[in-house]
Chains A and B, each alone.
Chain A
Amino acid sequence: MCQCKCEEPKSNEALELEKVFAKYEGKKGALIPVLQAAQDIYGYLPAEVLKEISARLRIPVSKIYGVVTFYAQFHLNPRGRNIIRVCLGTACHVRGGAKIVEAVTKAVGIKDGETTEDLRYTFESVACLGACGLAPVMMVNDDTHGRLTPDKVAPLLEQYK
């Protein structure tokens, strides 16, 4: 986001964010939904956006920061175009989830919590995606992939450009 004071036309993202403020301004408990919406727009939560939210909702940046770092869902750094989430919940653990984690690392060259340099993938492990009947499970973006074996991982990830 631009730091100067000139009246540059607002970016699409800023316009979207404006709509979010219009929806939640003056409502109780608005912080988390606004952060969720802002992250949907920007893909993560840039520092300038947090400042803007602070000013508009009249909540100190320190409190916002506290909330953002408390919840696993919020991200302060840019994220990959494709989010790989490997389940390490109980059902998946018992059916070999750790082997899927290894296979992902081998396929895309990053570890749990990292993002590839070309921003193609972000890889994180999660506890239970609610599809335990299909363990071991991995989600790529909004697609759930179940009954995985390590050798299925690389070809599957290749489809996400």
Chain B
Amino acid sequence: MQLYRAHVLVCGGTGCVSSGSKKIQEAIVDELAKQNLDKEIKVVETGCHGFCEMGPIVIVYPEGTFYCQVQVDDIAEIVSEHLVKGRIVQRLLFKAPLTEEQVPSYKDIAFYRKQHRVALRNCGHIDPEHIQEYIARDGYEGLAKALTTMTPQQVIEEMKKSGLRGRGGGGFPTGLKWEFASKSPGPKKYIICNADEGDPGAFMDRSVLEGDPHSVLEGMLIGAYAIGADEGYIYVRAEYPLAIKRLKVAIAQAEELGLLGDNILGTGFSCRLHIKEGAGAFVCGEETALMASIEGSRGMPNPRPPFPAVKGLWEKPSNINNVETYANVPVIFLHGAEKFASMGTENSKGTKVFALTGKLRNTGLAEVPMGISLREIIFDIGGGIMEDKKFKAVQIGGPSGGCIPEEHLDTPVDYDSLIALGAMMGSGGLVVMDETSCMVDVARFFLNFTQKESCGKCTPCREGTKRMLEILQKICDGNGVPEDITTLETLGAVIKNTALCGLGQTAPNPVLATLRYFRHEYEAHINDKKCPAGVCTALLEYKIVAENCKGCGACARVCPVGAITGEKKEPHEIDTSKCIKCGSCIEKCKFNAIVKG
């Protein structure tokens, strides 16, 4: 193998590709060739580093220098200064949000310092399209250990000891699930990976598939061995073309090395894996619907029992886990269940990847040990709220979850504590909202989503969510009445108890949680016809504050309906009967003279 004195890692995840990383990579390769450095320095395309907002990201090793928002014009300088003369290009370093201090190394950036990367251990560090790089980081060693030194029953025991719980939402203990499937009789069983990632606002599964596909394959193979499956499917959203491509490459390379297919590692154990592309329905993330979709039908959930472990894909015993769940498995076999169980809380072991989004300074993917507080995630890793606004709530668990207000931010995060707060872990989507977010609007947003995605099979969900949405819409439009709140609570409770699948059973959560913590906002909408956050258009009125208005006329020029009038250099006025509340004038006024409320 050729030795290189330096490696330049260019992020090739979806986020950075959209910010132009392909061109950056080409420019680096060209520049290195031009300066005759291509034999000494290697360029590697990696998966996502989880800090896509700062992309395109380029990291130079051995130093671990972290360059962000790199442009093609910067490449010549990086090569001549850093790679030739060893001088770091200061202006491209990450700047700490508060202190404006430049942080040279990956490890010292606050966003990464509190993270503990297990599922994401290789993401951003290896070239996902070269199996050798995965193997060089102990890849497939866990599988080899399981296949050659353990019986399937011992594998299950080890999983149970690790305490790993499903990362796809429910948090069911993975070892127990495998045990059920292994005990189901029958010669034909399936192992399935749920990569449908439907929660809008979560992208950790995408990141793992794009950045480290072999960790998922390895986890699935260990699972297949444990339950006795010889065939499996990975069900991936069609919206993730790059993930699908990398999985295909990974499967082909693993087959070539005898790590997948017949007689794996010469042990007599065989397993084939196929990719199925989803076709765009959120409910297909539900396990029984997902299997119906693989079979080629409409992806509608079926009542459980029978559970997939007994009667799953094509009526055969099947085991289904989430991408992140599988990505954790090899680590358990590499370092042992005890080591894994030493991270986390009493009942939630290991780490969890959260997708930090919303009004945060640093958005991205953060993997942290279970039991860390929300405050640390939001303020230390996420860098706090954008533009120094005030934190209002954080929504956890997407459309099935709930929002949590400031007073509970110090709660240690795990599966059980979140449920006690009326939220849930879900997939780990974490949307931060500030004082300019309206909680009624947020509840309506999620309900609109679940209502649209309801498959229509059972009445409580199909009709119930529609009624709830109508009421929320009415409240946002300023036509709410006080009884609406109790109706929402009653309907919510009924739907939770009677819907057939998880989609319906959890759909009321965002409404119930906002009612629990932000009831006053609902009341303001209903009783005072005001939206305190200034979001619900129907309840807003735009006004010009005469003392601040300089009469520049900028607002009048952008107003699409000519609602603003006034003499030059004199305070202007808005005719509220004409105003369509488009908000253009506020954006244009340089003197903060226009207010809404």
Task: Identify the A interface with B (CB < 8 A).
Answer: 28-33, 35-36, 59, 63, 66-67, 70-74, 87-91, 93-95, 126-135, 137, 142-147
Contacts and interface: CB of A to CB of B under 8 A. Distances in A.
B203 A130 contact: yes
B139 interface: no
B209 to A, nearest CB: 10
Contacts of A95: 358-359
Interface string B355-375: 101110001110000000000
B434 to A, nearest CB: 9
B363 to A, nearest CB: 5
Sorted nearest first, the 8 A-B pairs with minimum C-beta distance are A89-B200, A90-B201, A133-B52, A144-B18, A91-B357, A72-B280, A71-B279, A128-B200
Interface centre among A36, A89, A127, A128 (most CB of B within 10 A): A128
Interface in B37-79: 51-53, 55
Given A32-B296, A127-B282, A90 B53 contact: no
B314 interface: yes
Interface centre among A63, A144, A145 (most CB of B within 10 A): A144
Interface centre among A28, A35, A36, A94 (most CB of B within 10 A): A94
Interface stretch (B151-159, B235-243, B465-473): B235-243
Interface centre among B197, B357, B437 (most CB of A within 10 A): B357
A149 B221 CA distance: 45
Contact of A130 (B51, B239, B364): B239
Contact of B358 (A36, A87, A94): A94
Contact of B395 (A59, A90, A134): A90
Interface in B197-226: 197-203, 206
B241 A142 contact: yes
A133 B53 contact: yes
A12 B111 CA distance: 52
B431 A91 contact: yes
Contacts of B52: 131, 133-134, 146
Nearest to B455: A70
Given A94-B359, A135-B357, A72 B281 contact: yes
Contact of B19 (A66, A87, A146): A146
Contact of A67 (B197, B200, B296, B358): B296
Interface residues of B, number: 54
B445 A93 contact: yes
Given A72-B280, A90-B445, A91-B363, A132 B357 contact: yes
B358 A70 contact: no
B299 interface: yes
Contacts of B297: 63, 67
A1 to B, nearest CB: 23
Contacts of A91: 200-201, 355, 357-358, 363, 431
B18 A132 contact: no
Contacts of A94: 357-359, 431, 433, 437
A146 B316 CA distance: 43
Contacts of B53: 133-134, 147
Interface string B251-286: 000000000000000000000000011011110000
Nearest to B362: A133
B508 interface: no
B15 A134 contact: yes
A67 B206 CA distance: 26
A129 B51 CA distance: 16
A36 B115 CA distance: 40
B17 interface: yes
Nearest to A64: B296
B280 A90 contact: no
A70 B455 CA distance: 8
Nearest to B197: A130
Contacts of A90: 200-201, 357-358, 395, 398, 429, 431, 445-446
Contacts of A31: 296
A128 B199 contact: yes
A31 B355 CA distance: 34
Given A130-B239, A132-B201, A144-B17, A73 B279 contact: yes
Contacts of B437: 94
Given A72-B280, A133-B51, A66 B359 contact: no
13 contacts: A70-B281, A88-B200, A90-B398, A91-B363, A128-B200, A132-B363, A133-B52, A133-B203, A133-B357, A133-B363, A133-B365, A134-B53, A143-B18
